[in-house]
Structure 1
Amino acid sequence: MQIKRVWAGLLLVGLFSGLALAQEPRLWAESTDFRFGEIYQGQQLEHAFRLENTGNEPLLIEKIRSSCGCTAALLSDYQIEPGQSAQLRVTFDSTRFRGPVVKTVYVYTNDPLHRVAQFYLRGQVTPELVLEPAKADLGSLEPGAVGEVAIVIGNVGPQNIAIQEVQTDLQDVQATLSSKLLQAGGSVTLHITATAGEEGAVKRKGYVVMSTDSPYSPVVKVPVSFSVTGVAQP
Structure 2
Amino acid sequence: MDAMKKLVVSLLILAGSLSAQSSSRGPRISCPRETWDFGKAAQQKELKHAFEIKNTGDDVLEIRQVIPSCNCAAAMPEKKRLSPSESTVINVTLKTLTFKGRLEKIITVVSNDRHRPQLRLNVSGEVLPPYYVKPSSFNFGKFSKSDPSKEIPFTIVTLGGTQIEIKEVMPSSDLMSVRSTGDAETRADGSVMRSYVAQVKAGASVGLLRENITVVTDFKNLAKIVIPVTADVAGEVLLSLQNLNFGACKLGQEKSKEFIVNKSGAADLAIQGVDVLPSGRFDAAVEELEKGRKYKVRVTLRKDAKPGYLKGSVNIRTNCPGEKTVRAWFHAYVSKK
Flag whether TM exceeds 0.5 (same fold).
Answer: yes
Partner of 1:21: 23
Partner of 2:80: 78
| Cα gap change, 1:8 to 1:33, in 2 (>3 Å) | same
| Distance in 2 of aligned mates of 1:43 and 1:35 | 15
**Partner secondary structure for residue 193 of structure 2:** coil
| Distance in 2 of aligned mates of 1:129 and 1:218 | 12
Contact 2:29 2:113 in 1 (8 A): yes
| Cα gap change, 1:187 to 1:113, in 2 (>3 Å) | farther
Relative to the length of structure 1, the TM-score reads 0.60
| Cα gap change, 1:154 to 1:83, in 2 (>3 Å) | same
| Distance in 2 of aligned mates of 1:5 and 1:12 | 10
Q: Deviations over 1:188-223 (max 9, x none)?
A: 8xxxxxxxxxxxxxxxxxxxx954xxxxx5654359
| Cα gap change, 1:153 to 1:69, in 2 (>3 Å) | farther
**Partner secondary structure for residue 18 of structure 1:** helix
Contact 2:68 2:75 in 1 (8 A): yes
Residue 130 (1) aligns with residue 138 (2): no
Residue 46 (1) aligns with residue 48 (2): yes
Larger Rg belongs to: 2
* Gap regions ≥5 residues in structure 1: 135-151, 167-177, 189-208, 212-216, 225-234
| Distance in 2 of aligned mates of 1:14 and 1:159 | 61
| Cα gap change, 1:30 to 1:157, in 2 (>3 Å) | same
| Cα gap change, 1:27 to 1:91, in 2 (>3 Å) | same
**Partner secondary structure for residue 114 of structure 1:** coil
Q: Which of residues 6, 9, 19 is equivalent to 1:7?
A: 9
Question: Aligned ranges for residues 1-234 of structure 1 at < 5 Å?
Answer: 1-130=3-132, 154-158=156-160, 161=163, 163=165, 183=184, 184-186=192-194, 211=218, 217=219, 220-222=222-224
1:157 partner amino acid: L
**Partner secondary structure for residue 19 of structure 1:** helix
| Cα gap change, 1:114 to 1:155, in 2 (>3 Å) | same
| Distance in 1 of aligned mates of 2:124 and 2:118 | 19
| Distance in 1 of aligned mates of 2:17 and 2:72 | 49
| Distance in 2 of aligned mates of 1:164 and 1:223 | 11
Which protein, 1 or 2, shows the higher relative CO under an 8 Å CA cutoff with sep ≥ 6?
1
2:165 partner amino acid: I
| Cα gap change, 1:74 to 1:38, in 2 (>3 Å) | same
**Partner secondary structure for residue 14 of structure 1:** helix
| Cα gap change, 1:117 to 1:14, in 2 (>3 Å) | same
| Distance in 1 of aligned mates of 2:161 and 2:16 | 67
Q: Deviations over 1:214-234 (max 9, x none)?
A: xxx56543599xxxxxxxxxx
| Distance in 1 of aligned mates of 2:127 and 2:48 | 14
1:154 partner amino acid: I
| Distance in 2 of aligned mates of 1:121 and 1:160 | 22
Contact 1:210 1:219 in 2 (8 A): no
Contact 1:158 1:185 in 2 (8 A): no
2:94 partner amino acid: F
| Cα gap change, 1:22 to 1:90, in 2 (>3 Å) | same
**Partner secondary structure for residue 25 of structure 1:** coil
Deviation for aligned residue 1:128: 2.0
| Distance in 2 of aligned mates of 1:160 and 1:4 | 78
Contact 1:210 1:221 in 2 (8 A): yes
**Partner secondary structure for residue 97 of structure 1:** coil
Deviation for aligned residue 1:131: 6.4
